[in-house]
Structure 1
Amino acid sequence: MHIFAQRNLAAAFLLPILFLLFLLPLNNAHGQEYKVGEDDLLRIKVYDNPDLTTEVRVSGEGKITVPLIGVVAVNRLTATEIGNKLADLFADGYIKNPQVSVFILEYKSKKVTVLGEFTKPGLIEMRGESTLMEVISNAGGITAAAGDTLFIQRKSIKGSTGNKSDVTIPINLTKLLEEGNVSLNIPVQDGDSIYVPKAAFVYVTGEVKNPGAYKITKGLTVLRSITLASGFTQKARKSKTEIIRKSSKGEVTIAAQMDDLVQPDDIIVVPESFF
């Protein structure tokens, strides 16, 4: 199964390198870009006012309680934005020229479900601004039988009604893993379901030079499938090539034309010539 070996080799070489590259922007994400949410734990430091330094957890309503100020809404704000907001509030009759820093001590756990062709499918818990590549890594990578497209199913709030609907986001795995397209390494959200279906293959056997399973691409014909198998042997009886195909009534055998399009799980059989 040549396609399996090639994909495993490429993934083993490229995945660690791409993962490190994809992590570079995340160093910033956990500081300036990460937007605070429910259950995050914050440390608030007010310089020259140690009594006001405190640790607070964001409530389910996205609020924190701060000494002197009281309840403050912080949901979907960055640490820097929260610091600036608190500084303005402290300056309003409490402290002259306050300097406030906010640090995120703990990130809320995100629960993401991975299904299909992952090495370790199941429930994965992530913290902070986690990306798709981190999820793939935590799931042990994808299997050699994986297709070229990953699907993220996500709950999305629709319009002003607040109704939730499912949104499906397709990700091209070839571009993400093999070509290193960073734009596809999107953040995951709590409750995401990530699915990688099995690739569709055609099986070429008989009098070809490299019998095996080959991934079906758009417009793949019988002739192209045989070419992927390195072509006919000298003993091949080309005109008698057959396709064994699954149907609702079981397997059927049909005479193959070289320009026929193949279907998933087709078996192309090239018989031997006895002349």
Structure 2
Amino acid sequence: MKRFAMWILAALALAAGSASGADVTLGAGDVLKISVYGSPDLGLETRVSEAGNITFPLVGAVAIGGLPVSAAEKKIGGLLESGGFIRKAQVNIIVTAMQSQQISVLGQINRPGRYPLEGRRSLMDMLAQAGGFNADGGDMVSLIRKRNGVTTKDTIDIVEMVRNGDFTRDFDLAGNDVIYVERAPRFYIYGEVQRPGAFRLERSMTVLQALSVGGGLTPRGTERGMRIKRRDAAGVLQVLDAKHDDVVQVDDVVYVKESLF
């Protein structure tokens, strides 16, 4: 599993490196540094208002919210030309602080926080940018998005997606999307084992594998008569006889008895 985790990290890094350099879309709160070639007196640093406007010398209020940077440059240049202020205006915009288009990456991630959405980015891109899963990270990621006033939640199995090479659920992101990396599922083992406690539940883990994770039996332990304590769908606790090949489920408690002989 460690080798596979390294594979996942490599895939995330590759995704980050191949992200598109598409034009950034401007929005409220973005800080811009604007210059006009040959007219240093028109240069300024400004912030896009909540209404999506900036105030530019000579032309006044300019609505640029929702425009890509290149379109905003052309719009300001066009206003300078149509107003008779500059012929063939060459406007350059640098986004010094991207506030409008940010993604929240939370949960079991190495560098949780808010990240600017610079150009086109997918789920895998942002996971890579946030440093990948930490030691407690599971295979599942929740993606919460709001589109046209409707909030949706998708659960993506990252490991399965990489194993199959099927990236149809590597969704493109938009501003204010939330990525949440779930904690890895756990099981518990106690009784006559060397290392009782809570452990990460690997896929299709058997009772015998769980016993190995717990360090094996103590000198007084026995594999006979092991029990699994498990809650059913209604929350009722069940006590089951445990066979070596039984598959351990999330939050199962495996109990290893003491040998009578």
Query: Do the aligned partners of 2:27 and 2:52 also contact (CA within 8 Å) in 1?
Result: yes
Choose from 6, 10, 14 the match for 2:5: 10
1:221-232 alignment runs, 5 A limit: 224-226=206-208
Shift of 1:77: 1.6
Inter-partner Cα distance in structure 2 for 1:227 and 1:257: 11
Matched-pair contact (CA < 8 Å) for 1:19–1:134: yes
Task: Judge conservation of contact 1:41–1:58 (CA < 8 Å) in 2.
Answer: yes
Q: Which residue of 2 aligns with 1:132?
A: 126
Report Cα offsets for 1:164-214 as digits up to 9, x if no partner: 343213233326788998873754633x44433333344578999x99956
Superposition CA RMSD, Å? 4.7
TM-superposed deviation, 1:45: 2.2
2:17 aligns with 24
- 1:215 aligns to what? 201
Deviations 1:110-158 (CA, angstroms, capped at 9, x unpaired): 776555434576xx24345385225632xxx53433321111323x253
- 2:87 — aligned with what? 96
Query: Do the aligned partners of residues 62 and 177 (structure 1) sit closer, same or farther apart at CA in structure 2, a change above 3 Å counting?
Result: farther
In structure 2, the residue matched to 1:76 is: 66
Distance 1:144 1:125, change over 3 A: closer
Contact in 2 for aligned 1:113/1:193 (Cα 8 Å): yes
Note the residue ranges of structure 2 that are not aligned, 5 or more in a row.
none
SS of residue paired to 2:183: coil
- 1:175-186 counterparts in 2 under 5 A? 184=170, 186=172
Contact 2:27–2:101 (8 Å) recurs in 1: no
Assess if the C-alpha contact under 8 Å between 2:27 and 2:100 holds in 1: no
- AA partner of residue 35 (structure 1): T
Alpha-carbon deviation of 1:249? 8.4
Against the structure 1 CA distance between its residues 103 and 116, is the aligned structure 2 distance closer, same or farther, given a 3 Å change threshold?
Answer: closer
CA contact (8 A) 1:108 1:128 kept: no
Q: Which of 198, 217, 229 matches 2:183?
A: 198
Match of 2:56 in 1: 66
For 2:135, give the aligned amino acid.
A
2:159 is the alignment partner of 1:174? yes
| C-alpha distance in 2 between matches for 1:146 and 1:104 | 33
Change (3 A) 1:214 1:226: farther
Is the 2:104–2:115 Cα contact (8 Å) retained in structure 1? no
1:255 maps to what in 2? 241
| Contact 2:117–2:174, Cα closer than 8 Å, also in 1 | no
- Cα 1:253/1:65, change in 2 over 3 Å: same
Deviates more, 1:76-85 or 1:47-56: 47-56
Q: Structure 1 residues 70 and 174, CA, compared in 2 at 3 Å: closer, same or farther?
A: same
The separation in 2 between residues aligned to 1:260 and 1:165, in whole angstroms, is: 42
Distance 1:90 1:55, change over 3 A: same
Q: Give the corresponding residue for 2:252.
A: 266
197-206 or 43-52: bigger deviation: 197-206
Relative to structure 1, the CA distance from residue 109 to residue 271 in structure 2 (aligned partners, 3 Å threshold; closer, same or farther) is same
Unaligned runs of 5+ in 1: 159-163
How far apart in 1 are the matches of 2:235 and 2:56? 70
**Structure 1 match to 2:135:** 144
**Number of residues of Structure 1 aligned to a counterpart in Structure 2:** 248
Per the TM alignment, residue 56 of structure 1 is displaced from its structure 2 partner at its CA by 2.5
- Which letter maps to 2:65? N
Contact 2:100/2:175 (8 A) holds in 1: no
Cα drift, residue 225 of structure 1: 4.5
Contact 2:103 2:175 in 1 (8 A): yes
Structure 1 residues 181, 108: closer, same or farther in 2, change over 3 A? farther
The alpha carbon displacement at 1:80 in A equals 1.3
- After superposition, residues 100-115 of structure 1 pair within 5 angstroms as 100-108=91-99, 115=106
Structure-2 change in CA distance of 1:57 and 1:180 (3 Å): farther
